[in-house]
Amino acid sequence: MKLDVLYEDNHLIAVWKPAGLLTQGDATGDANLMDEVKAYLKETYQKPGNVFLGLLHRLDRPVQGVVLFAKTSKGASRLSEQIRDRTIKKTYHTLVESVPQEPAGTLVHHLVHDERTNTARVYATEKAGSQRAELSYKILSRNLEAKPPKTLLEVELKTGRHHQIRAQLAHIGCPIVGDVKYGASQPLPDRSIALAAVSLTFKTATTNETITILKEVSFLC
């Protein structure tokens, strides 16, 4: 595959992950984005031996979007600190079934990862082993004539939990289009889901300059 590099400096590289591609290798042995980025760095800069690449965050396999990696240990340390401090801004666009009750809002739940089903269970109050999950959303457009009705949302993550957007939106009756794991009416032909990480804002590792990476995705509402 041809790597879609969206941003690169001496310490960081941001690329676009297509839906269906793993972010990081797993037991399946399937192709993954991390290996593709390593191969790009090795070839582009003629690096001998193993290439350092720090994974800063992940996207689920059926999700497309911007993924940021660290090319150096300094980059990994500085950006990991921003992630811990929640100063990195992550924005998603998603097409969901149904229409949220409010045109914009904040969702706060407590999620428990069910390892047996690899899903997140959603609770209104704190439970044993749960993690607090928060996101905000606003409606961009909607199609009430579709069956079922569909709504295009912009979502900003405040926390980064396993399957957070998928689980929280499904919990309010708005599963993401194609996400049959969380209650969508039918899968998409390519097994992806209508969720994309379209924007990432962070500070560079050394100059502290604020960078925003943005790539538009069209989900037909």
Between the alpha carbon of residue 2 and those of residues 9, 33, 113, 130, the distances in Å are: 19, 11, 34, 39
Nearest-angstrom CA–CA distance, 163 and 220: 23
pTM for the model stands at 0.94
User: Exposed/middle/buried for 75, CB within 10 Å: 0-12, 13-18, 19+?
Assistant: buried
Sign of the C-alpha dihedral, residues 90, 93, 97, 99? positive
| Residue 66 dihedral angles phi and psi, to the nearest 5° | -75, 130
pLDDT in tens, 142-196: 999 999 999 999 999 999 999 999 999 999 999 999 999 999 999 999 999 999 9
Q: How far is CA 38 from CA 41, 59, 130, 205, 216, in A?
A: 5, 18, 35, 20, 25
Residue 27 confidence class, pLDDT cut points 50, 70, 90: confident
pLDDT of residue 221: 65
Residue 59 pLDDT? 97
Beta-ladder partners of 97: 150
Region 88-110: mean pLDDT is 97
Q: Which residues are catalytic?
A: 60
Q: What is the pLDDT of residue 110?
A: 98
Residue 218 has pLDDT above 90, yes or no: no
Task: Decide if 61 contacts 17 (C-beta within 8 A).
Answer: no
Pairing of β 104-114 and β 119-123: antiparallel
DSSP 9-45: -SSEEEEEEPTTSBSS--TT---BHHHHHHHHHHHHT
Task: Report the pLDDT value the prediction gives residue 1, as an integer from 0 to 100.
Answer: 78
pLDDT digit string, tens, across residues 32-87:
999 999 999 999 999 888 899 999 999 999 999 999 999 999 999 999 999 999 99
The pairing of strands 150-157 and 131-143 is antiparallel
Answer whether 153's CB lies under 8 Å from 97's CB: no
Alpha-carbon distance 186 to 178, whole Å?
6
CA dihedral 11, 22, 57, 131 (to 10 degrees): -170
What is the reported pLDDT for 137? 99
Domain spanning 5-214, CATH architecture: 2-Layer Sandwich (3.30)
With 0-12 / 13-18 / 19 or more C-beta atoms within 10 angstroms meaning exposed / middle / buried, residue 121 is middle
